[in-house]
Amino acid sequence: MKIQNVNLENKTVLITGVAGFIGSALANELLRTVPSVCVIGIDDCNDYYEVELKEYRLSEIEKLAKKHGRCSFKFIKGNIADKTLIDSLFSEYKPAVAVNLAAQAGVRYSINHPDAYIESNIIGFYNILEACRHNPVEHLVYASSSSVYGSNKKIPYSTDDKVDTPVSLYAATKKSNELMAHAYSKLYNIPSTGLRFFTVYGPAGRPDMAYFGFTNKLIKGQTVQIFNYGNCKRDFTYIDDIVQGIKLVMTRAPEKKNGEDGLPVPPYAIYNIGNSFPENLLDFVQILSEELVKAGVLPSDYDFEAHMEFVPMQPGDVPVTFADTSKLEEDTGFRPSTPLRTGLAKFVRWYKEFYKI
């Protein structure tokens, strides 16, 4: 197991994409559990999905920061593609750890909106790397994605597998992030760790994700599309597991050392964070429907079958995602463990309260 070589107590942590699903959950976790931490968050709060949800997440962080008086939270509204802003932010706050979670998400959206992915995922991440180069950090942690595995046939997906066949621009930008981070780690000795997330879900999640979108449509009496005629499996990973994994990784930066040539060996690592238990899409829909009825969000006589449409695979999608998390477990002792039903039940309870159903 890797030793903890980064202490977060009394440190400044930068979280980009702090109004996002994972970013806000991480900010809350740090404010709850790390004494005297100062969280600096940046987000442009764009309208890719409902801005009200992002504002809600930010308000929850603010409440928590006030509750834990020795901790602090500072929010900056801005775009990581703005190099001047990012440089000034690093110069002023000098974060010890930077966690880059800002990105244009969504596989299908990337098919028709490529510019958003180049701006945020490529230019924005370059700005973060440059800022870490000129304002050294103890550790840069950044979001990659399970989508980098593309059309790989071998499962479970291992970080030792080749990932040279992306099937969407989103996946290509995430693979680019890994390559860029490796280059900067080698050239400037920046300790960096990439995290390949697998289908993250939970309360206050992203409305463009299946579980959230299905719920919205079912409540409105609309039809939900079941892709690949239901022959899909996803490694659903609950948000609390994701955040716990990120926090453990943050405190374990890759070691700086020189090679035989006297030059730095890149202090660089990649991990999968997934539940390591792919669920069939139809089983997932069944569990979600049962929890929606149980919570009183939908009536017990709701005709779910009448609201399902089986359709072919969509461009950019893959039939199966399945994480090999042995490397993460070996280095941190952590393995995601929340069962799908438990996580979906928590999401449904949050949904009912948030939308006042």
Return the H-helix or E-strand segment holding 343. Answer: helix 340-354
Q: Which of 157, 170, 184, 211 is catalytic?
A: 170
Integer-rounded Cα Rg, in Å, for the chain is 20
Distance CA 15, CA 17 (A): 6
61 touches 70 (CB < 8 A): no
SS3 251: coil
Question: Left (φ > 0), alpha (ψ -120 to 50) or beta: where does 190 sit?
Answer: beta
Going from the C-alpha of 197 to that of each of 52, 147, 159, 168, the distances in angstroms are 25, 9, 12, 16
Question: Left (φ > 0), alpha (ψ -120 to 50) or beta: where does 316 sit?
Answer: left
Q: Say whether 170 is catalytic.
A: yes
Q: Write down the residue that tokens 């050294």 correspond to.
A: 136
Task: Say which DSSP state 323 is in.
Answer: B
In the chain, the N- to C-terminal Cα span, in Å, equals 46
Catalytic residue numbers, as ranges: 170
